[in-house]
Amino acid sequence: MRISKSYYYFLLFAIGFCISLSLPFLVQVATYTPPKYPLVLYSSQLHDMVRLDYSDRDFPMTDSKGNKYTPYETDSLLPLLNFRQLVADNRLPDSINHVPVNARTIANYQLSFRLSPTRIHKPVPMAYPIFESMPRRVGNIVTDHVFLLDDEVTVYDVSKNILDYEATQLFRAELEHRDFSYPAKWVVGNTNPRKKYDEGYFVLDNDGKLFQMKLVNDRPFIRNTHLQTPSGWHSFHPYEPNLHNFYGILVSNDGKMARFNIDDNGVYYLQWLDVPNIDPDVDVVKVIGNFMYWNVTVSKPEGEYTYALSAWFLNHIASDFIPVQLSVWDYIGHWIFPFVIRLKHNHTEFIEPRIMDLNPNAIWFNIILVGFYIYRKRRYGSPVRWYALASVLIFGIGAFLAMSFLPKNDVY
Amino acid sequence: MKVLITSIFYREWLKTRLVFTISMIVVVSVMLYIFLDFAHYVRSSELSAVIRNAIINNSQPFQVFKFVPTLLGLTYAICQFSPEMVDRRFRLTLHLPYKEHYIMAALLFYGTLSLLAFFFVAMLCSLLLLLFFPWALLCHIALAVYPWLICGFTTYALVVALIIEPYWVRKFCFLPILLTFAVVFLLDAEPYAFAKAGWFFIYAVIVAYVTPFYNMIRFKNGQAK
């Protein structure tokens, strides 16, 4: 009984795929070490970028000139970071750079948040909980309503498991009044009920207009922010600081970041971060801020860039760069595997096979495999077929092992 | 063809009726446990908080069911094909007066239909959760379960291929392929993280169901290596 050639080639491809998926993963698990970067901050005392690495307990801090500092000196040179230690030691100064400070003021302005591509490229929630932005009782922001926003807005009462027609009609009327264009491109907000206050959700409609949507005194509050950028908005990363002094970071399609807030007249405004454009689908941005400076760290494949910006005007003050430290995988992986198939990736929560890390250097290893393949065929007197050699040359070790596992003499 | 399918189905039913009954009891028991556990959870806290948790944190009430389809596929493949290979009856089956491909397809169709029956009953039992969830939310949660069901079908077909493979060394070589697919479908991930991998699921099922035919032909030809 003949085995159809189509069976053979189909299985050959499938086994080659499985090997290309699993073998690089196993080798990477054995050889990869993720890069470790020290914390880079701007010192208000030294007026310089400093690196903190607490694995060195004697001299954790190093400045840009290479001077090292003990933990005691570090506390004084980074008072806005280590203010609690200074308070415990009774060493907190009355003013920093001629600005009067106390522990409460410093604590109120502390912030730390992260902009990650995985927060954008992830499954969209089915529904969003509605919080009360002006609760009658302090802290009681949680309501029993959730809303769905697809081709229309729909509000459900989850305590009774029914559609709330009245609330739905209110929201629809308000969205229509504000000239909202369905369907929404994205809806972003803090869905965690354990927060001090609620600023609702920010919604990008189909025409690229950004709206703020929340519930105020049981009535929908929907307002067009009128914030535009030539390339359009890519994403929004919400942050709800203690002082209500901004909503979060907007990222445009060309990679510019802006902090946005509302003034006393109810007009939304932007403050652009004075940093180079990022790739919002790849780069991870971390912000560690205080009432004087924002330390913005952008993690790229080649290393980490840290920028010190003024906290008020977000203008550039200083910067630092730490190149990536290569691991054993980085040295050997691109010589062995012409490509790698990955299921998970750092940039997205979605799982699907992706061909990544195309490595032309692996052609040399593939040539060795071709030589070994020819030697085996000659030794057992089997014919050497050109398409087998081509597939080993192009697809590498996956094709070689697949053809070893499914020898051609099965087909006759 | 009708005679072939009827006779093959009857023979397989006689062989696997006990396993089928026990598996059905297991599936219903697991789904009832899920319902009772969830009802207890709802009584312990508020229904609105539970639903918000399901929406915000993607809490999955069917987590207990995760490995059940894979185990069902594995068990059913072993119960259906191991006696054939141990008692050396599989070659006789392939000598029936029909093409070997049709015979193999009928055998695989029986197993697949049995698995579909289990999953259909599980789906019916999951409707009990409508007492707590709205229909849209239940669909959203239940659809997140489909990678596990696909894993059940691919496990069944690949284990069948593994059992009827005549060469022992090749049996172990098929294990990494089986494990690769199983690991993919059983990855810890958010519900709907597999939303973009539909084409991969179709490909995996096709690969899984083609492999037994390849091994069947090798078995029929008496290829030892």
Q: Which domain holds residue A21?
A: 5-33+332-410
CA distance A343 to A352: 5
Count the domains in chain B.
1
Output the DSSP codes for B67-109: THHHHHHHHHHHHHHHHHHHTT-HHHHHTSSS-HHHHHHHHHH
Mean pLDDT for chain B? 87
Within a domain: residue B57? yes
Task: Check A193 against B52: CB less than 8 A apart.
Answer: yes
Within a domain: residue B212? yes
Within a domain: residue B37? yes
Same domain, A229 and A151: yes
Same domain, A249 and A139: yes
Within a domain: residue A303? no
Percent of chain A with pLDDT over 90: 48
> Which of A213-217, B144-148, B221-225 has the least mean pLDDT?
B221-225
Within a domain: residue A166? yes
CA angle A315, A319, A321 (to 5 degrees): 150
**pLDDT of B222 strictly over 80:** no
Q: Which domain holds residue B164?
A: 2-220
Amino acid letter, residue B158: L
User: Which chain A positions have a beta carbon within 8 Å of B133's beta carbon?
Assistant: 161
Q: Which of B55, B176, B211 sits opposite A146 (nearest CB)?
A: B55
Q: Which of A62, A80, A109 is the last residue of a domain?
A: A109
Contact A50, A40 (CB under 8 A): yes
Same domain, A153 and A230: yes
Phi and psi at residue A262, in whole multiples of 5°? -125, 140
CA distance B33 to A134: 42
Same domain, A156 and A203: yes
Q: Which of A60, A86, A109 is the last residue of a domain?
A: A109
Report the run of H or E that residue A62 belongs to, with start and end: strand A61-63
Within a domain: residue B17? yes
Same domain, A360 and A394: yes
Angle, helices B198-220 vs B100-126, to 10°: value is 140
CA distances from A98 to A79, A93, A335 (A): 14, 10, 57
Same domain, A152 and A205: yes
Same domain, A183 and A167: yes
Within a domain: residue B225? no
Phi and psi at residue A304, in whole multiples of 5°? -115, 130
Same domain, A124 and A210: yes
To the nearest whole angstrom, how far is the Cα of A279 from the nearest Cα of chain B? Answer: 22
Same domain, A102 and A115: no
> Which pLDDT score is estimated for A411?
47
The token pair that represents B99 in the structure block: 């093409």
Contact A325, A98 (CB under 8 A): no
Asked if A122 is an interface residue toward chain B (Cβ–Cβ < 8 A), one would say yes
Q: Which of A265, A289, A313 is the last residue of a domain?
A: A289
Same domain, A167 and A263: yes
CA distance A239 to A260: 10
Q: Is the ipTM of this complex over 0.85?
A: no
Q: Which residue of B has its CA nearest to A156?
A: B134
> Which pLDDT score is estimated for A125?
82
How sure is the predictor about A409, in pLDDT bands with cuts at 50, 70 and 90?
low
Within a domain: residue B194? yes
Partner residues linked to A322 by β-bridges: A304
> Which of A163-172, B47-56, B114-123 has the least mean pLDDT?
B47-56
Higher pLDDT, A409 or B2: B2
**pLDDT of B160 strictly over 60:** yes
Within a domain: residue A105? yes
For A97-108, what is each residue's pLDDT tens digit?
A: 888 988 998 998
Q: Which residue of B has its CA nearest to A407?
A: B225
Q: What is the mean pLDDT of residues A160-177?
A: 90
Same domain, A122 and A254: yes
Q: What is the mean pLDDT of residues B12-20?
A: 93
For A170-190, what is each residue's pLDDT tens digit?
A: 999 999 999 999 999 999 998
> Which of A17-21, A167-171, A397-401, B169-173 has the least mean pLDDT?
B169-173
**pLDDT of A50 strictly over 90:** yes
Task: Check A144 against B48: CB less than 8 A apart.
Answer: yes
> Which pLDDT score is estimated for A220?
92
- What's the gap between Cα A125 and its chain centre? 18
Task: Check A343 against B184: CB less than 8 A apart.
Answer: yes
For B58-82, what is each residue's pLDDT tens digit?
A: 777 888 899 999 999 999 999 999 9
Same domain, A278 and A131: yes
Q: Which residue of B has its CA nearest to A122?
A: B193
Size of interface A-B (CB pairs under 8 A): 107
Q: Which of A21, A193, A350 sits opposite B180 (nearest CB)?
A: A21
User: Which of B106, B86, B105 shows the shortest CA–CA distance to B213?
Assistant: B105
Region for residue A141 given its phi and psi (left: phi exceeds 0; alpha: psi -120 to 50; beta: otherwise): alpha
Within a domain: residue A313? no
For A231-280, what is each residue's pLDDT tens digit?
A: 999 999 998 888 888 999 999 999 999 998 888 888 999 999 999 999 99
Interface of B with A (CB under 8 A): 46-48, 51-52, 55-56, 58, 100, 132-134, 136-137, 140, 170, 173, 176-177, 180-181, 184, 187, 189-197, 200, 207, 210-211, 213-214, 217-218, 220-221, 223
**pLDDT of A163 strictly over 70:** yes
Answering whether pTM is above 0.95, one says: no
For A282-296, what is each residue's pLDDT tens digit?
A: 999 999 999 899 999
Count the domains in chain A.
3
Contact A349, A118 (CB under 8 A): yes
Higher pLDDT, B138 or A63: A63
**pLDDT of B97 strictly over 90:** no
CA distance A131 to A141: 5
Q: What is the mean pLDDT of residues A53-57?
A: 89
